[in-house]
Amino acid sequence: MPGRGTQFFGFAGPIRITLRPSVRVKCPALSGQSHFSALAGFRYGLKLVPFTSHWLARTRGRCTRRARAVWFIVLRMATNANAAPSASNAAPHPAPEAEEIYRRWIKFLDDEFIRHSSPQRRAEIVRDQLWQLYLGRPHAGKLNLTLTSELPGNVLSMSMDPENVTLEAEHFADVDPKRFAPRKPLLWFWQMFDRSPIGLNTWLGLRFRCMLGRHIFDHMGSGVKIYHGVDLTYGYNLSIGDGAMIRQRVLLNDRGGIKVGKNVVIGSYSRIFSHAYEANDMEHVRLTPTNIGDGAKIGTHTILMGGQNVGAGEVVGAYPVFRT
């Protein structure tokens, strides 16, 4: 029987393989039956090929056809045994069971926010989710408000409900209450998710924020990546194009409107504004939309002031790799 790591010689040179014995699977070549359905979900882009003894005649170890042993050979899709895996194969992934739970949770929330657009119902949904994320139990109904010793716990419990909190955006004179109200529970959910332990789960967080963004933003493209700690103001004046990437701790102050083009990259800790103050009157705010053209690159810690227009493909800030 051939050993692990046997090399086969093909048209493109040697291919490194790993042999794994099958479990109660008959050989398709000998029995005329197909047994590939159970392997359809094999992960990481590896291809499984069934080999029987008469196909292994040219290996260093020989098998007799009488043994009718079946081996599944994992072909690494490279001619160099030491070649690094491709980027798609090396992408971090949660365990299959966890991934299935994450996807179900995000789909449940997406369906709920599609079904319910009223601020009150959305606030209840967010409250119930935050109770379980932070307190580890379902919403318990009425609290015991008489005991002084339970006041801190009551403050925490009541703060899970978006209707019991105020956001900075609500204090701005230019806020549109009608448009902001259905988004407020989702903005609170956005912030509280990122401040919880699971907010550091990159795989989950990227998908969670994109799901919420479809219900918050004026436009949300496909293939967008929004990383941990991104801060929003209104949300309804924000448009993000396909393939955009917004790194950690970016501020998107969309009071006057921000348009992020396709495939834009905004570096960590950048500040994007869309308003300006009068020099002699800080109470007077001018709303000036900010536009970032397709394929532009905004460097880490860059500040874009309100009304600034970044052209398509333009580089702003410290991005030496793109400048060269």
Looking at the structure, tell me whether residues 311 and 241 fall in a common domain: yes
Task: Tell me which of 43 and 86 has the higher pLDDT.
Answer: 86
For residue 67, is it within any domain?
Answer: yes
Looking at the structure, tell me whether residues 76 and 117 fall in a common domain: no
Whole-angstrom Cα distance, residue 247 to residue 36?
A: 41
Whole-angstrom Cα distance, residue 294 to residue 149?
A: 55
Whole-angstrom Cα distance, residue 259 to residue 272?
A: 10
Residue-number span of the structural domain to which 274 is assigned: 217-324
Residue spans of alpha helices (H) in 57-216 = 87-90, 96-115, 119-130, 151-159, 177-180, 184-194, 202-216
Looking at the structure, tell me whether residues 191 and 101 fall in a common domain: yes
Helix (H, G, I), strand (E, B) or coil at 288: coil
Looking at the structure, tell me whether residues 171 and 229 fall in a common domain: no
Cβ contacts of residue 61 below 8 Å, gap of 6+? 1, 2, 3, 6
Which among 80, 115, 140 is the end of a domain? 80
Cβ atoms 75, 49 nearer than 8 A = yes
Whole-angstrom Cα distance, residue 206 to residue 257?
A: 23
Burial 215-235 (b: 16+ CB within 10 A, else e): bbbbebbeebbbbbbbebbbb
Nearest CA-CA partner of 272 in 312, 230, 216: 230
Would you state the pLDDT for residue 70? Answer: 37
Whole-angstrom Cα distance, residue 223 to residue 283?
A: 39
| Residue 1 exposed, middle or buried by CB count within 10 Å (0-12, 13-18, 19+) | middle
Q: Residues 4-28: what's their mean pLDDT?
A: 39
For residue 286, is it within any domain?
Answer: yes
Would you state the pLDDT for residue 216? Answer: 98
Which among 196, 228, 251 is the end of a domain? 196
For residue 212, is it within any domain?
Answer: no
For residue 206, is it within any domain?
Answer: no
Q: How many CA atoms lie within 13 A of 35 on its CB side?
A: 18
For residue 141, is it within any domain?
Answer: yes
Looking at the structure, tell me whether residues 35 and 102 fall in a common domain: no
Element (H, E) at 136: none
pTM equals 0.72
Would you state the pLDDT for residue 86? Answer: 52
Element (H, E) at 320: helix 320-323
Using a pLDDT cut of 90, give the percent of the chain over it: 63
Q: Quote the radius of gyration of the chain (alpha carbons, Å).
A: 28
In the predicted structure, residue 80 carries a pLDDT above the cut 50 = no
Cβ atoms 188, 126 nearer than 8 A = yes
Looking at the structure, tell me whether residues 76 and 126 fall in a common domain: no
For residue 235, is it within any domain?
Answer: yes
| Total domains in the fold of the chain | 3
Whole-angstrom Cα distance, residue 237 to residue 246?
A: 17
Looking at the structure, tell me whether residues 192 and 256 fall in a common domain: no
The three-state DSSP-derived secondary structure of 214-268 is HHHCCEECCCCEECCCCEECCCCCEEECCCCEECCCCEECCCCCEEECCCCEECC
pLDDT tens, 83-113? 444 544 578 999 999 999 999 999 999 999 9
Q: Residues 136-145: what's their mean pLDDT?
A: 84
